[in-house]
Amino acid sequence: MELHPIISSKGMNSSSTQFVTPSRFGIYEPIHQLGTWGENFKSNGNPNTSTPMIMEVDIKLDAQVQTSEDTSHRTFPPPTKYEQEASKPLKLLQIQRRLVQNCEVARKSRLWKKAYVQQLESSRLKLVQLEQELERVRQQGSYIGGGVDGFQKGFCGPVNPGIAAFEMEYGHWVEEQTRQICELRSALQAHISDLELRMLVEGGLSYYFELFRMKSTAAKADVFYIMSGMWRTAAERFFFWIGGFRPSELLKVLGPHLDTLTESQNMEVNNLRQSCQQAEDALTQGMEKLQSTLAETVAAGQLVEGGYIPRIPTAMEKLEALVSFVNQADHLRQETLQQMSRILTTRQAARGLLALGEYFQRLRASSSIWATRPREPA
């Protein structure tokens, strides 16, 4: 434990002023202001060099008592010469006491400073998140209304009501999902019955299916919006495949958490992995074909004046095909989840769902972490 003698008291006002109780000996203990302490410890690097002699400090201290701006209940006159001579051992005790109390105050000051810094940090994080949200909404606004006219700041043009509704619903979905993950986590730790756990698993699965239904409706309103993943964080978009996560990725995430599989379960999971990959590859190739034919259609077609989408029937067909691809991809995700649920025991499925939920939470957090990382000034 370091002992930091009082260096100085600058008399700054602070709302968190701490009062040190007067000692039994009736000696006035100076009031220390924590803000000041923080300043002192920041600027005084090496405690050794700034440690004055104890006797010196005492004298300074007594002088400070007279001039301090703090509210004080009583002021005591400096001890007389007689008192000083007679109470040398008492003096030692006073010094010791003072040093211990200084140490305590210094400790509290450090804790206060730490808490304050943590608060600042979380506020800063919140601010960055809000800025990102704002930027995202701005981009979306320019995406919906801009088009050929280029990017425009802020909201512009009519906002697609179907998409606006979806955005709001998705926000709720994420919140509810977070709650479900917490519930699942505590349920697994609490060792509830298999039946109750099964209900949680079924609930969790059907909640994913609910999202797929929401996406299907939104895709009809604006398929490019769903395909672009603008409704998701940047990190999630990085892994995007036809409007969502890759089904094969899902199996990779679950992999390490399925260490208790039986022989036959292992075989079934391997088969699922293979068939999932094959289905994914087939859809990917179909998607590539769609992209190239759509590009050809747009290239060959003529833009109607002022219009963004070429009003040619075949182009509309292609866009409808895009919707069916999004639906197929979601169907694949749903089937993968259902098959896993069938292969695994209730407890394994619960752990798998928890792992999946936490994976997506971490992925979402990655975006903010990256954005708020400390950067060197340009």
Partner 1 sequence: MDKITRLVSEKGVVIFSKSSCCLCYAVIILFQELGVNPVVCEIDQDPEGREMEKALTRLGCNAPVPAVFIAGKLVGSTNEVMSLHLSGSLIPLLKPYQ
Kindly list the residues in this chain that would bind partner 1 in the complex (CB under 8 A). 268, 271-272, 275-276, 278-279, 281-283, 285-287, 289-290, 293, 314, 317, 321, 324-325, 328, 331-332, 335-336, 339
CB of 160 to partner 1, least distance (A): 25
Q: Tell me whether residue 225 or residue 325 sits nearer to partner 1 (CB atom).
A: 325
Our CA angle for 25, 27, 32, nearest 5°, is 130
CB of 218 to partner 1, least distance (A): 20
Q: Tell me whether residue 213 or residue 289 sits nearer to partner 1 (CB atom).
A: 289
The one-character DSSP state at 244 is B
CB of 176 to partner 1, least distance (A): 27
**CA distances in angstroms from 309 to 1, 88, 224, 256, 297, listed in the order given:** 73, 95, 12, 46, 11
Q: Tell me whether residue 138 or residue 331 sits nearer to partner 1 (CB atom).
A: 331
**Beta bridge partners of residue 244, listed in sequence order:** 241
Contact in structure between 276 and 332 (CB atoms under 8 Å): yes
Q: Tell me whether residue 1 or residue 299 sits nearer to partner 1 (CB atom).
A: 299
Q: Tell me whether residue 17 or residue 314 sits nearer to partner 1 (CB atom).
A: 314
> In angstroms, how far is CA 73 from the centroid of its own chain?
47
CB of 213 to partner 1, least distance (A): 14
Cα gap 291→288, rounded to integer Å: 5
Q: Tell me whether residue 234 or residue 321 sits nearer to partner 1 (CB atom).
A: 321
CB of 225 to partner 1, least distance (A): 20
Quote the tokens at residue 43: 């600027």
CB of 193 to partner 1, least distance (A): 29
Cα gap 285→316, rounded to integer Å: 21
Q: Which residues of 180-200 are buried (b: 16+ CB within 10 A; e: fewer)?
A: bbeebeebbeeeeeeeebbeb
